């Protein structure tokens, strides 16, 4: 029989255990991130970039006031710039037109003044057939 060096066997066993731990953690992180279970889907284009006539609504995963749209929003994002008098708003770096009759809503005020909306606010919005914002809804997540 061959004489086996015990320190070499211990090193190989340690490396094998380390490999198994790394493999397990890699598989666990893939499962937790939702990757690997299905082929990755391409990102859905922003509502203003879609050419189809029927838009998918964005429904928040948190509880909204009863007067918020039950069917969801045409889009959501953060206000980068807002100029109500100029009928425009920039949401997530995309400029949108605001209708002069746009309605504004907050969790505490239905039909709130547009002046309550400012840069940095998270909002949901509803578009008309011409892709003009007809209503904007302040999104506040209570933690």
Query: What per-residue confidence (pLDDT) applies to 113?
Result: 93
Q: What is the mean pLDDT of residues 5-34?
A: 62
Which residues face 112 on adjacent strands?
Answer: 104
Domain 59-138 class in CATH: mainly beta
Q: How many residues does the chain have?
A: 143
Exposed (0-12), middle (13-18) or buried (19+): which is 46, by Cβ within 10 Å?
middle
Confidence of residue 55 (pLDDT cuts 50, 70, 90): low
Query: What per-residue confidence (pLDDT) applies to 20?
Result: 58
Residues 70-116 have pLDDT tens digits of 888 999 999 999 998 889 999 999 999 999 999 999 999 999 999 99
What's the pTM value of the predicted model, to 2 decimals?
Answer: 0.57
Per the prediction, the chain carries an average pLDDT of 76
List, in order, residues 6 or more apart from 123 with CB less than 8 Å away.
76, 77, 78, 79, 91, 117, 136, 137, 138, 139
In the chain, % of residues over pLDDT 90: 43
Q: Where are the domains of the chain?
A: 1-36, 59-138
């Amino acid at each position: 029989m061959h004489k086996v060096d015990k320190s070499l066997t211990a090193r190989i066993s340690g490396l094998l255990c380390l490999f198994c731990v790394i493999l397990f953690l890699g598989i666990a992180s893939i499962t937790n991130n939702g990757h690997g279970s299905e082929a990755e889907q391409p990102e859905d284009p922003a509502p203003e970039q879609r050419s189809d006539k029927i838009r998918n609504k964005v429904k928040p995963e948190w509880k909204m006031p009863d007067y918020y749209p039950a069917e969801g929003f045409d889009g959501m994002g953060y206000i980068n710039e807002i100029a109500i008098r100029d009928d425009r708003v920039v949401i997530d770096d995309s400029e949108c037109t605001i209708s002069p009759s746009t309605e504004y809503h907050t969790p505490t005020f239905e039909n709130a003044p547009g002046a309550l909306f400012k840069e940095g606010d998270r909002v949901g919005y509803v578009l008309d057939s011409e892709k003009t914002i007809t209503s904007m809804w302040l999104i506040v997540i209570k933690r």
